[in-house]
Chain A
């Protein structure tokens, strides 16, 4: 029976794929801001931190509104730095939301990735609370509304001896301790953001925290220009004796206000708890039932202890442990609790001794032999090897533009011997249709693919294989056109070459060269 979560993910991918494709056309996959949403969020939080330190010097808890208003009036520095601080915060919330949406749509939230999902949501929550305290600091109409709303929520809890809401009725001056505590939270919460970010990336190898420089500068300069030309406004000063007039509100941080304001505080709490629980439970809701993606296993008889799979694993699921059979010093061991079954280790192992069951190099070789055996003679001019997750979704088709498709779960999974086998068996050319590197479901598939094809990384494509007959194209899920263009380019390229030789009894070299000591991280 189809599940609602599956349908939601499908719908989300239908939204995401054309947007990704459009951004790829405009900015190229390297600088696609949708692919880089997570790193953009980190970069923006860095901007917020730096600008926040400057603003801190001018904030006065005894005169909150006045000090911020004076900052806003500083035309040459304070004004735009305050605006930059605010717009960068807004953009960070957008980036985090896009990042979470991507992870949900691409089914990258469950299993060993659940920690990243949950910590990411906690991170977003802390950022939103940090923004809340930031707007209260300004102490304009928006700040007063947020302070009252916060007090209303907290007064439901049996935690405080005095109702906090009483601070804002007007019978007494608001104690400066309130503004001090608020400022303290606003400064302390970013420390929590840093710690949670560390947890967020704890289970991945080589986490990328910053986008490529051109994209970083592009985003920074745009927000800077916005800060200079459209400075962030400040509402009228908070007045405890007037019903608030319409004032500018920031909907990136305060989107929840229209929902909670009309509700009794206890009902708003229940709503918040229900929504938060549903979001936090996504890894367990979307996790496929019945079908378990088997973790990688190591055939210790084949393992030479070369450490390539250990180095290539994007999730640090493989460790090297001493072996006790008198052979090479170390043997690879997979931690099933950390393995997401990406299969990247399959592509890294020359002796084909590691990988998820059914997707090891040996399994792939058996698969491609069957594929070639079933390949009609008039379809040997070219073959497409396509990733099943992206690459214009051509993997769902038998043939694209008249060229037969051989699908692989991830191109990082692809063992180079598959390509060698195809070309030695008489196929004219191989088009490798991969997801763009920053859009890889398994993080580093295209990166290792390129290294293995062209830069000699284990398990490298042997020198004897004619690279002119291989073309790698990067295409997102909504970029079928790129694959078709690639087929045409490959056809033209192959047509200019001699007819390929056909081998009938192909022997694949399974030797593994040990990785030099210095590359060990």
Chain B
């Protein structure tokens, strides 16, 4: 039993840097007047052409303010404001509760393969 525990701890320790590295990824400093689209033009254009961009859901909603909180890959909690039912698995088509919205909702179009 002791051996199994040791192996577990070792494996966890090996992967912990991976987890913490991903968590502490910082966004390079930006000037106050710079817009996200200046460096991220492709993503910004895609976003603006699809529903969320058109409805005024800014980059900050998913990615944070870049300083106090920055999320390179946001988690489902960023979607709760408008999509609480889907996030909690109560809405139709969301009962499988995948760990991440991006399993089905891709990139910056946020469309699934069925175009939803």
A and B associate: no
B-side residues, CB < 8 A to A, are: none
